[in-house]
Structure 1
Amino acid sequence: MSAPDLAPRRLVGGIIAVWVSAAVIAVAIGLAVPAPDRTMWLAVGLGVCLILSFGLQLATGRSHGFTQRVAAGILGAMVTMGFVSLGFALAAVVPG
């Protein structure tokens, strides 16, 4: 039998780390990849975020709410990557 946690760790840090990683990955893809190939590479980047989210939540060692935490990390990563890619798309449209 295991003893309950007296002061459980905050579990939001792993979710926020995935969101920040998604922003960094999306900016790197936007700067390094030509415009026609960005969609494919953003999908690969989202797959990396999925593996990262799964690994970070697995490392916490808490099973309660595991699926919800992984889903929150991935959903936030998808929204973050969407906003960054929208920014690159608008930058491509605006003459400069």
Structure 2
Amino acid sequence: MSEPALAPRNAFHGVIAVWIVSLVTALTLGVVLSEQDRVPWLVIAFGGVVLLGFAVQLAYGRAQGFIARVAASAAGSLVVMGLVSAVFALSALAAAF
């Protein structure tokens, strides 16, 4: 049986890292893709970010709070990607006028 770590790593850093990856991904897709292709690729990217959130939290190896951390990663990424896509949608709407 292994002994618990005296000062375990803060697993919330992994949540922040996933949010940053989702922000960079959404910005990159928003700039590179056309308006018609943006939404399907954002959905695909969100699926990848959710899988990344699972992988990051599994890498920490701490069972306590695992579901909450993965849920925070997914929910935060959804909010970040939603806000970025809303900004791109508003800019496209403003450009139409």
TM-score when normalising by structure 2:
0.92
* Runs of 4+ residues over 4 Å off in structure 1: none
- Between the two proteins, the alignment pairs up a number of residues equal to 96
Identify the residue that residue 24 of structure 2 maps to in structure 1: 24
What's the counterpart of residue 48 of structure 2? Answer: 48
- 2-side partners of 1:4 and 1:92: how far apart? 52
Please give the alpha-carbon distance, in whole angstroms, between the structure 2 residues aligned to 1:88 and 1:11.
Answer: 32
Measure, in 2, the Cα distance between the counterparts of 1:10 and 1:56.
12
Letter in 2 for 1:14: G
RMSD of the alignment, in Å? 1.2
Distance 2:23 2:6 in 1: 34
Give 1:4 shift. Answer: 2.3
Per the TM alignment, residue 94 of structure 1 is displaced from its structure 2 partner at its CA by: 1.3
Gap regions ≥5 residues in structure 1: none
- How far the C-alpha of 1:37 sits from its partner, in A, is 1.8
One-letter amino acid of the structure 2 residue matched with residue 77 of structure 1? S
Q: How many percent of aligned residue pairs carry the same amino acid?
A: 45
Can you give the 5+ residue segments of structure 2 that lack an aligned partner in the other structure? none
* Cα deviation 1:41-82 (Å, max 9, x = unaligned): 110010110111011000001111111111100100000000
1-structure distance, mates of 2:80, 2:4? 35
Partner of residue 72, structure 1: 72
- Residue 57 of structure 1 corresponds to 57
